[in-house]
Chain A
Amino acid sequence: MSHDYSKLIDELSRGHRSRAILSKILEVCGDSVLDLSRRNIIIKIVIKANCLRTALENIYKEHDLYLRTIAASDERSREGLFKLYYVFGIDSEGTNLVFEVPVAEGAKVDTISDLFRASDWYELEAHDLLGIEFNGRQMSRLVLPEDWPENLYPLRKEVSVEELKKMYQPQLISRVSELGVEEVVRIPVGPYHPALHEPEYFELYVRGEKVVDARYVGFMVHRGIEKLAESMKYDQVPFLAERICGICGFVHSTSYVQAVEDALGIEVPERAHFIRSIVLEVERLHSHLLWLGVALHLLGYDTGFMHAWRIREKVMVLAELLTGSRKTYGIDLVGGVKKDIDKDKIPRIKETLNVLRKEFKELVDVAMSVPQVKARLTGTGVLPRGEARAYSLVGPTVRGSGIARDVRKDYTYAAYHYVSFKVPVYTEGDNLARTLVRVDEVFESISIIEQLVDMMPGGPIKAERWEPQPMRLGIGAVEAPRGEVIHVVLTDLYGPYRWRVRAPTYQNLQAVPIMLKGVDLADAPLTIASIDPCFSCTDRAVIINLRSGSVKTLPIEVISRRVRENG
């Protein structure tokens, strides 16, 4: 590339932040930048693997820059290389900065997990599923079962879904006879525990009543979704995406179709955008009511739990009326939606929302005045703003720590730019702050739906036709009830070539150990719940690995051995 970049930078940047970042990157590794381009809000930088770290070292302190996702993809059949796509967000400009990094088979990439702590799991996952190696960090197998064969990487293209099923024969006998004996003194929470609705495993290390450390051992709900999608057609994947999570499924299917639409430049009719936004907000309502109910239950205020669920049921009926199903709505297709919202349903929507607003206000007023609720929410599970930023957190978790990050505002999609709404932010960072963020969001959601149904334009609900093309990169992001969901799609002729899902809990779970340190044991379940964790989203492909402040992570046997040796 030539050495006068200023014109190029002018063309590509979307504001002073991206300008500064681009100039810095070109200044420090201009020769290693293979290509630079921009399409809509995506600035793509193709950069050599050996220079990626240098580039990021120079920009990672830039305010507003955070790691959204990393997608690894096997493109050996096309270019003889693996590729890593690092997606960063610049919130204030609503810009995605994508680093495309070609990696030859067997080559190593420098880790960036010390610069962007969130990248830890992404790197482990790329190693597990595609066999990409990273320099400068400890690797361990985490996603796949322990008896998974060496050198078999499920996301490599040479193996199909059916072949994998044949190649991997789980050792069922030894699994069944696993011993249940605990070797060291610790408090295991899960995988089956009354306070967790999903099979997840936490270990809390306690001194007296105080939690001094915590470990999260995920991986229980890994179902091999991303591989399965390789055998599916474009219009089948939304239904698969929806089943990533039964609570916020529509978020995933919308995110997927948006990624495909972005990649292929499909024009989606306005009416479809409105319908998607309305259903997304209905989903947020039910999810927040669900969360509030469960949180009150964990606080020991079961009356509130029952009333929250009583109110929520009206939203479920509304969802079924609008989409045909109480959950997993099944109306998203690439290019639009499958089901229209008829005019005669609008009065019903408004009526439900009015009742909901009134009843929810009553419930919150009463529930927040209950002394034990207030006392146990205030000042527990504190997450400082600095940590929230360093870990690239998302959703109500980050908004409870004073950062107004919301995809609906920052990277607006669907019909959200037509409505006015506030992004609730609290600065305390405790469980109360996260609760209040959600409470305020319920009222905002109600108002958003009311505005949307009033403004809904006529017209078709689905794009007439669209042509698939191979190897286009698309990004779809949606603000789920729990935070930002982001899907990266590489297209192919019949279905996605590579589909990368990143759920909000994937980012947020890393913050749990920070929140847990120093809380009373009795407050631990609520603190875990305060990020509204959704393990089925997260584990679709990954296990999470606890970073308790130190950079090194150790397998559990090592820790238990140490404890034995020392104590």
Chain B
Amino acid sequence: MRMVKFLKMLSISVREGTATRKYPFESPLVTPEFRGKIEVDPVKCVGCGACTRICPPKALTIGNEGDEIVLKYFEGRCIFCGMCAYVCPQKAITVSKEFELATWELGDLYDEVVHTTVKCRICGKPFTTVKFVKEVEKRIDNKVPEDLLTVCPECRKKLTARKIGSKVVGVSGE
């Protein structure tokens, strides 16, 4: 009897029947909690870049392209951790259940959101997005110093340095 105990596997197999899923001819085994590709809502996104700073593999990047600022999402490097959705202050990012992303064109794996920009009052370089400026104004009730929203960080540094400089000169001149 002991010799043939391993034959018991047959009865287990019969009881269990076919385990195989018929995917792709039936729905995949995706649970409601599954984290797939992310979707950036172009209406809600203000281009603040919070998601690009937390993204562990730098799949989300933000940068200037000519006169525009572009938020780029590269699905091919995404690790589907959902941190971007977790930190997004505008709740513009949602995690979808999409995982059927295979393609033969690497370019197909990019999603881009293009923002119109605000140009620096001094050097003329685009430095932030129109929507971000509006959002800041809305949130702090229009009490933002004018320079903060119209001058780019580099020019602002120079401006401050000049102000301090002139003060110091002024003091020593007295």
Chain A residues with CB under 8 Å of chain B are 232-233, 235-236, 239-240, 243, 303-304, 307, 310, 313, 317, 320-325, 328, 330, 338-339, 359, 362-363, 365-367, 369-371
For the complex, give the distance between the alpha carbons of A338 and B13 in Å.
Answer: 40
Whether the Cβ atoms of B82 and A366 lie closer than 8 Å is no
Any A CB within 8 A of the CB of B56: yes
For the complex, give the distance between the alpha carbons of A380 and B2 in Å.
Answer: 23
Query: A313 to chain B: which residues have CB within 8 Å?
Result: 19
Whether the Cβ atoms of A233 and B54 lie closer than 8 Å is yes
What are 28 A-B interface contacts by the 8 Å CB criterion?
A232-B56, A235-B54, A236-B56, A236-B83, A239-B56, A239-B57, A240-B56, A243-B79, A310-B16, A317-B29, A320-B30, A320-B31, A320-B34, A321-B31, A322-B33, A323-B33, A325-B35, A338-B86, A359-B12, A362-B12, A365-B5, A365-B8, A366-B5, A366-B8, A366-B9, A367-B6, A369-B6, A371-B3
Q: Identify the closest chain A residue to B35 (Cβ).
A: A324
For the complex, give the distance between the alpha carbons of A362 and B12 in Å.
Answer: 8
Q: Is the interface of A mostly helix, strand, loop or mixed?
A: helix
For the complex, give the distance between the alpha carbons of A232 and B8 in Å.
Answer: 54
Whether the Cβ atoms of A330 and B54 lie closer than 8 Å is no
Whether the Cβ atoms of A239 and B79 lie closer than 8 Å is yes
Query: A365 to chain B: which residues have CB within 8 Å?
Result: 5, 8
Also in contact, A310 and B35, with CB within 8 A (given A369-B2, A369-B6): no
Also in contact, A239 and B31, with CB within 8 A (given A310-B19, A362-B12): no
Query: A303 to chain B: which residues have CB within 8 Å?
Result: 9
- Per-residue interface assignment for chain B, residues 1 to 40, with 1 indicating a CB less than 8 Å from any chain A CB and 0 otherwise: 0110110110011001001000000000111111100000
How many B residues, CB 8 Å from partner?
28
Also in contact, A320 and B6, with CB within 8 A (given A239-B79, A243-B79): no
Query: A304 to chain B: which residues have CB within 8 Å?
Result: 9
Query: B35 to chain A: which residues have CB within 8 Å?
Result: 324-325, 330
Any A CB within 8 A of the CB of B81: yes
- Residue among B9, B12, B57 with most chain A CB within 10 A: B9
Whether the Cβ atoms of A369 and B5 lie closer than 8 Å is yes
B3 to chain A, nearest CB (A): 8
For the complex, give the distance between the alpha carbons of A367 and B8 in Å.
Answer: 10
7 A-B pairs closest in CB distance: A369-B5, A239-B56, A330-B81, A324-B35, A236-B56, A370-B6, A321-B31
- Per-residue interface assignment for chain B, residues 69 to 83, with 1 indicating a CB less than 8 Å from any chain A CB and 0 otherwise: 000000000011111
Whether the Cβ atoms of B33 and A366 lie closer than 8 Å is no
Query: A232 to chain B: which residues have CB within 8 Å?
Result: 56
Whether the Cβ atoms of B34 and A324 lie closer than 8 Å is yes
Q: Identify the closest chain A residue to B55 (Cβ).
A: A236
For the complex, give the distance between the alpha carbons of A324 and B96 in Å.
Answer: 11
For the complex, give the distance between the alpha carbons of A359 and B80 in Å.
Answer: 32
